[in-house]
Amino acid sequence: MSSDYQDKLKREGKAPATLDKLEWLLSLVLPKMGARPIGEITAAEVLSILKPVEKRGNLETAKRLRGTIGQVFRYAIATARAETDPTVALRGALVAPKAKHRAAITDPVKLGAFLRAVDAFDGQPETIAALKLLPLVFTRPGELRLAEWSEFDLEKAIWTIPAVRTKMRREHQVPLPRQALALLTNLKEVTGGGRLAFPGIRSVERPISENTLNASMRRMGFKQDEVSAHGFRATASTLLNESGKFSADAIERALAHQDPDPVRRAYARGAFWTERIEMAQWWADHLDMLKSGGQIINLRPSANSA
């Protein structure tokens, strides 16, 4: 049953990261329930799988696992292999995880220190390149980790992220500043013979993991509540807005955020591209300045200002 559901998602063109996460979650279930007819599985049996995950403190995983099991059951109902979804009866049965904000550096001095630490980091070339590129392009970590060389046009300085890999399922183009082009050109000498720009150590067909990036930051001495791979989106959003140099629309478009207004959304697809190119290069130069320990202007109003 679960394999049928996975095949359905593959046919729908779900992102590889989504499929990998689904496969991992189902691996927590299949050893205990995989051989059982899905129509016979009870809420109590599902809860017996969720509770050990919850007791280990993995509240978010337990919540996602319940949701994934529910998706499989609803597919089973639609294909006449089950009559009810037992996860419905489990609403409120698990401890709700607290909302977590992804750690991000928004202090310019600390950001400069982080960039210098990355320069001094002794890691795999793919990992170092990803750690340097994330602050520059501030895409979602999965979009960068899963990047394929075919997506980069280094001559035109554009990275086109296909819709299947974006959160909003819309193609997203990223203007590449000189610094990003230099990093990618050097990386291509290392990994350019394969499909993936950031392959893992064990297989050139699988990318480095998000855990690899976060673990590298811990090795550099940065704590979990200080910085995360996803946090550079908040870093760029905060500091670009505080600079006062660029329109909020251009910044939101660079972050691939979707405008709720369909008319503005259609207009925004091309309207801010020139500004985004300028912004990308200014941001890269600004990061270089912070990394070198250059003069930093405090953009935040002081507590004593009237």
Catalytic positions, written as ranges: 140, 167, 230, 233, 257, 267
Cα distances from 27 to residues 34, 134, 139, 182, 208, in angstroms, run: 9, 30, 29, 40, 21
Please check whether residue 119 is in contact with residue 291, taking contact to mean a CB–CB distance below 8 angstroms: yes
Find the distance separating the first CA and the last CA of the chain, reported in whole Å.
Answer: 65
Please report the DSSP string for 45-96 in residue order.
HHHHHHHHHHHTT-HHHHHHHHHHHHHHHHHHHHTTS-S--GGGGGTTSSPP
The H or E element spanning position 26 is helix 16-27
Question: Left if phi > 0, otherwise alpha if psi is -120 to 50, otherwise beta: which for 173?
Answer: beta
Give every CB contact of residue 298 below 8 A, 6+ residues apart in sequence. none
